[in-house]
Amino acid sequence: MTQSLLSTMLPILDRLGVSAVLIGGSALAIRGVARSSLNQDLFTLEERCLFPPTWARLRSDGIQVEVRHGDDGDPLAGAVRFEQKRHRPLHLIVGRDASWQQRILDRAESLTLNDGPVRVALSRDLVLLKLFASGPQDAWDIAQLLQLPHADTLREDVNAEVQLLPDDSQRLWDRIVRDVFAPTL
């Protein structure tokens, strides 16, 4: 069995001292929501990851690297896309709002997966990130998490922190909660 791109990149990030956690479809699956995804996503606050020289050695290993910087109005500092033949692409999403995003890194759960040891975002933090992104797929993912056991605890956890997000994220949360928890007639 060949090594995944995630299992290749995790030790590299560790050597660089980059704190990153698994998010996106892979993290959702670990938390109980089965959803297909063409790539894997990691989250960090380390803006130095957006400097192309950081990844220069990877090219000799056949890993393509594309760095994208967010503009001034973008809620993210940027993202790095890693690609290698016969592997799922890996995105390293770089946040920029340490006031609430640092908690995601601090609270992540350490798990051992097929890719080796990896830190995985908690369900509440997946919800917060998805509210922040506010896309239709994000809303669906949140609703799926709220269908799982312990949804009341998850709702309480998110309610305790949703005020840290922009107003449109808070309105989306209110709509999703209303839709998911509305009494059926």
- Domains of the chain with CATH codes: 1-121 (3.30.460), 122-180 (no CATH)
pLDDT of residue 8: 92
Over residues 128-139, the pLDDT tens digits come to 999 999 999 999
**The predicted structure's pLDDT at residue 89:** 95
Pull the structure tokens for residue 33: 């929501």
How does pLDDT run across 17-30, given as a tens digit for each residue? 999 999 999 999 99
Q: Which long-range contacts (CB under 8 A, 24 or more apart) does 58-63 make?
A: 58/12, 58/82, 61/8, 63/5, 63/8
Q: What is the pLDDT of residue 98?
A: 85
Retrieve residue 97's tokens.
Answer: 């709002």
Amino acid (1-letter code) at residue 158: V
Q: Computed from CA positions of residues 38, 40, 45, 51, in that sequence, does the dihedral angle turn out positive or negative?
A: negative
Look over the chain and give the mean of its residue pLDDT values, rounded to a whole number.
93
pLDDT digits (tens, 9 = 90+) for 127-180: 999 999 999 999 999 999 999 999 999 999 999 999 999 999 999 999 999 999
Q: Given this model, what pLDDT does residue 35 score? A: 83
44-90 pLDDT, tens digit per residue, is: 999 999 999 999 999 888 999 999 999 988 889 999 999 999 899 99
E strands of 15-143, at which residues?
A: 21-23, 40-44, 64-69, 76-83, 90-95, 109-113, 116-120
Tell me: pLDDT of 185 over 60: no
Q: Which of 41, 36, 38 is nearest to 9 (CA)?
A: 41
pLDDT tens per residue, range 112-121? 988 789 999 9
Which residues does 185 contact at the CB level (< 8 Å), separation at least 6? none
Q: Does 122 have pLDDT greater than 80?
A: yes
pLDDT attached to residue 133 = 93
pLDDT of residue 1: 41
Please, what is the Cα angle at 96 between 49 and 45, to 5 degrees?
Answer: 45
Give the C-alpha distances (Å, rounded to integers) separating 90 from 84, 144, 160, 170, 178: 9, 23, 31, 29, 34
Rg of the Cα trace of the chain? Answer: 17
